[in-house]
Chains A and B, each alone.
Chain A
Amino acid sequence: MNESASTDPALRTEALEQLLTERGLVSPEVVDGFVAKYERDVGPMIGARVVARAWTDPAYKARLLADAVPAIQEVAWGGGANGEHIVVVENTAAEHHVVVCTLCSCYPWPVLGLPPSWYKDPAYRARVVREPRAVLREMGMELPPEVRVTVHDSSAEVRWLVLPRRPEGTADHTEEQLAALVTRDAMVGVATVTA
């Protein structure tokens, strides 16, 4: 008996795909298409465009903070699951928001794509609701002591998107230039945007 063969997730995945394909329940082409969507079309570039629009258009920002999904859909939308009701929260000099899902890894797919590995890591899921400043420091973000910190645990179907602070020295940037600066990590609240 070859124990390692039967526990190797790559082999088990191949086995599962073969079994389902033989039964006509999936086809490799359909799997390819679904994977390509999340490798290529749906990702943090969508959220970055939303953030850049909010930084340059105050009326848009007001709509985004009041009712996020229609406002996001004005710019771009990844579709699919995990984003039926999105709430946008704004990071400021006085208040910092950071997002987690302690029970699984719920994440706003239609604006950010699939979550990064650190977001799915047990250490992040366990610790950011208990010692957020220490976790952010380990991830490279030091918050001044006077900043209020709010951690959003995505425990039901509400998904959270952080509107990061616009960096200094970007007054002359176009919306497109601004979008290029915005990172996935800043839109989850574990990094700042720098110019």
Chain B
Amino acid sequence: MEVTIPGVSDLGGTRGHGRVPVPDPAEPPFAAWWESRAFALAAFAMGRISGRNLDAFRLTLDRLPRDRYFDDGYFGRWLHAAERMLVESAILAPGAVTARARRLAGETVVEPAAPEPAKPDYAATGPGSLRTVDTPPAFAPGGCVRPVRGLRLPGYLRGRLGVVEAVRPAHVLPDTHAVFAGEHPQHVYTVSFTSRELYGSDECFTVTAELFESYLESA
């Protein structure tokens, strides 16, 4: 099974975004009260309520329509992804949140009945995302690699020549974990890429990313 990441969240190296905001050192964690509630509700919705996992949550974010992803900011996309996970797990009926929001705004709306929950048949083998694997790493620091595929492979790195900088603790594989097809942990590597290789750029810098073993081919 190969799941590919849609374009909406894969922003690295893309153009047309304008200036970066000037940081405000005094900025609070939440810009509005609803953001703090949305943050907590999404955190509880993933796992505890919907039966879905962190990788499934990320994939749900990746699959949001553009307006849902961007228009209400970071916690807005958390809110929309949480709702989608809860509908997919049949905790909420489709349209339930919209109907309640309209009632809160004073409209007379018939709300859909709560469905029979249908959570994924899934349990983690341990806490968090780090696991051990029995096989030795296929790549070693200093080795040349090329990332060719993978759910969490940023598009701007695909096909580019990189160098393995470090072998990290093995992780649960998002490609299968996000769709409840097993944890299948793999070795993870920090791989570095030069700006010239990525962009043909005259500005000299290095980019590193963490990439799963199955994403990489020897080069």
Contact = CB atoms under 8 A, between A and B. Distances in A.
Contact of A131 (B105, B203, B210): B203
Interface in A1-50: 1-2, 5-6, 8-20, 23, 25-26, 30-31, 34-35, 38-39, 43
B40 A121 contact: no
A151 to B, nearest CB: 5
A17 B74 CA distance: 18
Contacts, number: 255
Nearest to B29: A114
Nearest to B171: A157
Interface residues of B, number: 89
A115 to B, nearest CB: 8
Contacts of A140: 22-23
Interface of A: 1-2, 5-6, 8-20, 23, 25-26, 30-31, 34-35, 38-39, 43, 81, 84-85, 87, 100, 102-105, 113-118, 120-133, 135, 138-140, 148-158, 183-185, 190-191
A116 B35 CA distance: 13
Contacts of A18: 100, 104
B40 A31 contact: yes
A35 B40 contact: yes
Contacts of A11: 101, 104-105
Nearest to A190: B23
Contacts of A115: 74
A183 B41 CA distance: 29
A19 B97 contact: yes
A99 to B, nearest CB: 10
B105 A102 contact: no
B15 A126 contact: yes
Given A19-B92, A156-B152, A150 B21 contact: no
Contacts of B102: 1-2, 5-6
